[in-house]
């Protein structure tokens, strides 16, 4: 039997119960991505079946979106570097090696898990402005969105790989 999903393995050390589902989602995503790293070919990473986003794009996008969403959760505006990354995610995905993409996303997820450990419950419902239009959110809203957005892209990676390989 394979290992249970992260949410069935108990608490993530030093993460508040209030945001434990976020930590579990990120731990699960990291685990699934690292499993894929060992089996994914560079050519598979760059294919866009039927015009869909490539696996490489999804990995680069997970890295960038987690960086941006967790910055907003800290109450920060995006840096020039973050805006540049957003504008060039597809180019980054095309030019980076599979190992570089996976190392960057693993490091980003680890950084996010560290941030979760230092996020006190008192901050969770504080308002946060998102994007140039400064749309309203909260710390907890941003963290939960980061988790669900990441898991959505991991699912898209798995589906895209099945399409590329022609498997059920």
Locate the domains of the chain by residue range: 15-165
User: Which residues on adjacent β-strands are paired with residue 127?
Assistant: 138
Please write the tens of the pLDDT for every residue from 5-22: 999 889 999 999 999 999
Query: Cα separation of 83 and 36, whole Å?
Result: 28
pLDDT tens column, 82-121: 999 999 999 999 999 999 999 999 999 999 999 999 999 9
pTM of the model: 0.94
Return the CATH architecture of domain 15-165: Up-down Bundle (1.20)
Give the per-residue pLDDT at 46. 94
SS3 for 13?
coil
């Amino acid at each position: 039997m394979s290992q249970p999903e992260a949410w069935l393995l108990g608490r993530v050390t030093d993460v508040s119960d209030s945001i434990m589902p976020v930590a579990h989602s990120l731990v699960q995503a990291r685990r699934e991505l690292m499993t894929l790293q060992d089996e994914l070919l560079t050519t598979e990473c760059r294919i866009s079946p039927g015009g869909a986003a490539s696996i490489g794009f999804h990995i680069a996008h997970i890295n960038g979106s987690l960086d941006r969403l967790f910055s907003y959760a800290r109450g920060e505006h995006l840096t020039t570097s973050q805006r540049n990354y957003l504008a060039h995610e597809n180019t980054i995905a095309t030019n980076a090696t599979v190992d570089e993409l996976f190392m960057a996303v693993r490091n980003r997820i680890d950084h996010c898990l560290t941030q979760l450990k230092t996020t006190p419950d008192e901050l969770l419902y504080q308002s946060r402005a998102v994007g140039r239009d400064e749309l309203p959110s909260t710390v907890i809203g941003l963290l939960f969105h980061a988790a669900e957005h990441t898991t959505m892209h991991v699912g898209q990676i798995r589906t895209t790989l099945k399409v590329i390989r022609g498997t059920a």
